[in-house]
Amino acid sequence: MNQTAVMHTDLDQLAERVEKAAELVQQLREEKARLARERDELASRLEETVKRLQGQDPSALVGEIQTLRREQREWQGERREVASRIEALMRKLEKLET
């Protein structure tokens, strides 16, 4: 009887951990979707800016290009961070399943 209670408690704890992990995965998916939307919006803005700035002074464009490249690096860094967090969570979930 005592062993059954311990197993039940262990299962409850495991269930809580799985629920927390599932919530975190959902949050990360939402964050990833938000970042993808923002990335697409920035890509669209970049395209519009390129069209608008065609034929203008090249030296003025250099600053804009540098800013856009910095933003791109930041987005790529965030994207890598989200991907690594999702991968870590998936490994944890896989361990829980075994």
Q: What pLDDT does residue 79 have?
A: 92
CA 66 from chain centre, in angstroms, equals: 24
Q: What pLDDT does residue 6 have?
A: 65
Long-range own/partner contacts, residues 3-11 (CB < 8 A, 24 or more apart)? none
Domain limits for position 44: 2-97
Number of domains in the chain: 1
List per-residue pLDDT tens for the chain, 98 residues long. 577 776 678 888 889 999 999 999 999 999 999 999 999 999 999 999 888 877 777 777 788 889 999 999 999 999 999 999 999 988 888 888 77
Tokens standing for 76? 């790529």
Q: Write down the residue that tokens 């361990």 correspond to.
A: 95
Q: What pLDDT does residue 11 have?
A: 85
Query: pTM here?
Result: 0.46
Q: What pLDDT does residue 82 have?
A: 92
